[in-house]
Chain A
Amino acid sequence: MRIIVDRAKCSSIGMCEAVAPDVFEIGADGALTVLTEEVGEDRRAEMVQACQDCPTQALSLEG
């Protein structure tokens, strides 16, 4: 699956990074980077958690 970031909504709060630091990173410039283009199916629960935890609903999954 792929992670879609709505840049207009993302406020770089970093809750996603708390769930999966190897997938999400808030950089020194305050912008969110998704470190892994494709995330394996075995981590779906974790990615759903990251989307749900996002206070601004900026994350969604594709595929």
Chain B
Amino acid sequence: MSWTASAVFTQWILNPLWQGNAGLPTNYVKLSTDVAKCALFGTTASMTPDKNAVVGSTGYNTGQWVTGNEKTSGTDWVATGRALANDAITAGTGFVMYDADDLTSVATATLTGVAGCLIYDDSITAVTVADQGVCYNWFGGDQSVTAGTFSVAFHVNGVCRFTN
């Protein structure tokens, strides 16, 4: 059991992205309009994220993403995570990407064993799964901070990206 990669959930691509089965999730407009959040999870050895998980196990507080696996620090990095700001979907030659501003806690955070984050749509309430997961990003090792600032800097390629 462990994190081994970053990935986009197959069920997110199925619905709402391609609307391949049931109707649109309740309250879903589009990812950049909805409230998207970044919740921290870990540790590397304690979870096994699965991009092919059934839809009911891809939401916040479901499957591997239950609050028991979440990493929080009081009001510095709250349970349910921090909302992404200035998130946008853009396209270029051979790619479509979803990106957002980097996230920074206040300067008194204490967190241990943060292995990665879940990016999810906090606006979705039903049809697929409430707070449906978009993707998860593995940090490559457990991260810890003591009485300081914890920042997540998203890659220049974005939070997630489709390439062809």
Co-complex (A, B): no
Interface positions of A (Cβ within 8 A of B)? none
